[in-house]
Amino acid sequence: MPPRPATGWELRQVSYLLALQFNEEVAAAITSLPLQVELRRGKIRYVYYNGVRLMTLRPRDFTFSISPEAGKIIKRATEPPRFRVIVSSGSALEGEVTGNSVLDADKLIRPGDEVLIVDVNDSLLGVGKAKAPGFLMRQLGPQEVVRFRRGVED
């Protein structure tokens, strides 16, 4: 089924789920856009903005997997360091971020959270999924702390 404009009910569902996963500011920033949705088995599966996929709703846990485009919106809607993992500029982001490359991270990040990977200037490098709590990331050395999903294309 191709993407179609989201109904009011679908926008409320997306807003509630985003508020639970992130916060109300992020939910308001994303749902204020003219979103399109794609359904699978009658339920929201993909959320689009201007034909670009922003998020995928995971039916297993009803959380969103975000794209770099959604990461840009979240970054604009929040103040640093919220939802961010700050990495050194020379870090090679290929599949994972290790504790050695983390300079700082939001202390409230929990394993499984969607995170924004940024440099010291708060420029978005990509998005990923936390594998360790934010307060421990720097101390884990060579261990994987974030599963890097996708980078931002310039």
Calpha distance 72→58 (Å, rounded): 20
pLDDT per residue over 44-67, tens digit each?
999 999 999 999 999 999 999 999
Q: Is the pLDDT of residue 154 over 60?
A: no
- Could you tell me the pTM of the whole model? 0.93
Which domain, by its residues, includes 146?
79-151
* Residue 129 and residue 103 in one domain: yes
3-state helix, strand, coil split of the chain in percent (to 5) is 25, 35, 35
Q: What is the predicted pLDDT for the residue at 93?
A: 73
Please check whether residues 67 and 97 belong to one and the same domain: no
- CATH number, domain of 83, equals 2.30.130.10
CATH number of the CATH domain containing 34: 3.10.450.90
pLDDT score for 73: 98
83 and 70 in one domain? no
